[in-house]
Structure 1
Amino acid sequence: MSIKEYIGGQCGNPEGLGGIACAKFMNFFNAEHYRAVKKFVCKLDGARILDIGFGNGVTIKKLSKNINAKFYGVDISADMVEKAKRENRDGVNTNKVILQQGKAEELPYNDDFFDTVYTVNTIYFWEDTAKVLDEVRRVLKDGGNFICTFYTKGYLDKLPYCDSGFDKFTPQQVRSMARERGFHDVKVKILSDCKAYCLIGTKIEGE
């Protein structure tokens, strides 16, 4: 396995010491993405919020300190689940934060359950993008919102470690996929021109 393949693999499924280091780097690298999530996430008291691909759990920890909501998380990496549980020990112990291992294509939650579902830089690693979007829409309540931050294909193509294991998309492609899977009022906000973007879509029943 080449170094590029190793780094790309750790981005998609962080494991071991390399995964811990990668997650810490992503906390810094994705700072503007986390700010976008904080801005658009549902802030109603008692809201249920899902983080897909929470990594080391730092984002959930920050949000849960400022929003009176119940936070759920699903991540493909068993190592990250354990790391995030330690990071969010207080929230886990008070049942304000519930974290588990799982795949985005098979979300282990009931229909119409969440007020917000968000994901930060995981779209590249989904095995079936359409299925994940269908799952997100399924678990969202009517009127719930989906937040998906990502780096554009043009930017990722410039990064050597993104050669392997990444499905890359333009903002137009991400917007089109969300609309095709039934999301409404789909908007793509620019976080950093020609680099980072944030998609926001709404579930509206019967439309």
Structure 2
Amino acid sequence: MSALTDKELAEQLRCPSGNQVSEFGNKMYQSNFNMIDKTIDLLNSKENSTILELGFGNGNHIIKLFEKYRIDNYYGLEISEAMINEASKLNMKLIEERKLKLNRIENDTINLKSNTFDYCFSINTIYFWNDLSNYFEQFYNVLKNEGELFLTFIQKESAEKQSFTQYNFNLYTETEIIELLQKANFKHIEPFHFEENAVSKNGTEMQRKFTIIKAKK
């Protein structure tokens, strides 16, 4: 995979595209593997649940969800058409069984029915949302009563050390996110903190801190 400038890397992380998208999707998955793994474990899905994920990337982790939990349906939204194609190829059996639906999100709108999902989650995507409050309100709307939202993100102090985040990344502190979740009427908000040695998206080794916030409707 050819080297990318920081600006090009930031653009690819926001919306992967191009003839190297398959390789890039795999690199994203590898870099995010621990964050994905920890989020799936914390999800602790009840039996026959319905799940919404925003920003599933190449979908390499989706099969683990179905293997770990007895899920009825998974609905994925993604901004990148290329990633939808990659995830569809990797999870064709689940699509054929009508347990999995993958669609493109447009105009920052989660265009789904109210009170539909037991769980919603998103990993390493909040930096690209135009309006956090808007997304939190939409998540609240599509969750069932007592449904849970999980947000996973690199802590601001760690993200700022990566040069590509100066380009079109919106970085937030944990406190800022919690306050916006409270304004969206979420309750029982609980942060979980982690630290890991990881390979950054630009290929450099780094120690980074990340947070998973759990919030209930």
TM-score with structure 1 length normalisation? 0.92
Alignment match of 2:213 (pick from 196, 199, 207): 199
The amino acid that maps onto 1:163 is Q
The amino acid that maps onto 1:14 is P
Is 1:166 matched up with 2:169? yes
Count of aligned residue pairs for this structure pair: 202
Q: Alpha-carbon deviation of 1:39? A: 1.8
* Alpha-carbon contact 1:42-1:115 (below 8 Å) kept: no
Is 1:90 matched up with 2:93? yes
- The corresponding residue for 2:154 is 151
Q: Alpha-carbon deviation of 1:192? A: 1.5
SS of the residue corresponding to residue 19 of structure 2 reads helix
CA RMSD of aligned residues (A): 1.6
Q: Alpha-carbon deviation of 1:13? A: 0.6
* Alpha-carbon contact 1:189-1:197 (below 8 Å) kept: yes
Q: Alpha-carbon deviation of 1:104? A: 7.8
- The corresponding residue for 1:179 is 182
TM-score with structure 2 length normalisation? 0.88
* Alpha-carbon contact 1:115-1:140 (below 8 Å) kept: yes
Whole-Å Cα distance in 2 between the matches of residues 145 and 104 of structure 1?
A: 24
Whole-Å Cα distance in 2 between the matches of residues 104 and 67 of structure 1?
A: 32
Alignment match of 2:62 (pick from 60, 63, 84): 60
Q: Which segments of 5 or more consecutive residues in structure 2 lack a partner in the other structure? A: 197-207
Whole-Å Cα distance in 2 between the matches of residues 42 and 74 of structure 1?
A: 21
- The corresponding residue for 1:40 is 42
Whole-Å Cα distance in 1 between the matches of residues 174 and 101 of structure 2?
A: 31
| Cα pair distance change 1:72/1:81, threshold 3 Å | same
Identity over aligned residues, as a percent?
A: 23
Return the structure number with greater strand share. 2
Alignment of 1:77-116 (within 5 A): 77-103=80-106, 105-116=108-119
- The corresponding residue for 2:199 is none
* Alpha-carbon contact 2:29-2:57 (below 8 Å) kept: no
